[in-house]
Structure 1
Amino acid sequence: MADAAPKPKSKKKLMVIVIGLVVVLAVAGGAAMFLMKKNAATDEDGEEAAAPAAHAKHDDKNPPTFLPIDNLVVNLADPGGERFAQIGITFQMADSHSADSLKTNMPRVRSAILMLTSQRSSEELLSRDGKLKLAKAISDEASRTFGIEPEDEEDEDEDAPKKKKKKRKAQPESPVQGVLFSSFIVQ
Structure 2
Amino acid sequence: MATAPEADAAAAGGGKKKLIMIIVIVLVLVVAGGAAALLLMKKKPPADEEGEEAEAPAAHVEVAKPKPGTPPVFLPVDPFTVNLTDKEVDRYAQIGITLEVVDQKTADMLKNYMPSIRSGVLMVLSHKSATELLTKEGKERLQKEILREAVRPLGFEIEIDEEEPEEEDPPPKKKKKKKKKAAPPVLPVSNVLFSQFIVQ
The question of 1:149 aligning with 2:157 is answered: yes
Structure 1 counterpart SS, 2:187: coil
Which of the pair has the greater relative contact order for Cα pairs under 8 Å at 6+ separation?
2
Q: How much is the aligned-residue C-alpha RMSD, in angstroms?
A: 2.8
The question of 1:104 aligning with 2:82 is answered: no
Identity %: 50
Distance in structure 2 (CA, Å) of the matches to 1:131 and 1:68: 18
Which of 112, 122, 129 in structure 2 is aligned with 1:121? Answer: 129
Give the C-alpha shift of residue 147 in structure 1: 1.4
The question of 1:138 aligning with 2:151 is answered: no
TM-score of the superposition, structure 2-length normalised? 0.57
Instruction: Specify every segment of 5 or more residues in structure 1 that has no aligned partner in the other structure, as ranges.
Output: 1-56
The question of 1:179 aligning with 2:192 is answered: yes
The question of 1:78 aligning with 2:78 is answered: no
The question of 1:66 aligning with 2:74 is answered: yes
Going by fraction, where is helix more abundant, 1 or 2? 1
Report the count of equivalent residues: 128
Distance in structure 1 (CA, Å) of the matches to 2:76 and 2:160: 27
TM-score of the superposition, structure 1-length normalised? 0.60
2:187 partner amino acid: S
Give the C-alpha shift of residue 140 in structure 1: 1.2
Give the C-alpha shift of residue 146 in structure 1: 2.0
Instruction: Specify every segment of 5 or more residues in structure 2 that has no aligned partner in the other structure, as ranges.
Output: 1-64, 163-171
What do the CA deviations read for 1:57-85 (whole angstroms, capped 9, x no partner)?
Answer: 67543321000011110110110561000
Structure 2 counterpart SS, 1:183: strand
Give the C-alpha shift of residue 186 in structure 1: 0.4
Distance in structure 2 (CA, Å) of the matches to 1:159 and 1:103: 44
Whether the 8 Å contact between 1:148 and 1:171 is mirrored in structure 2 is no
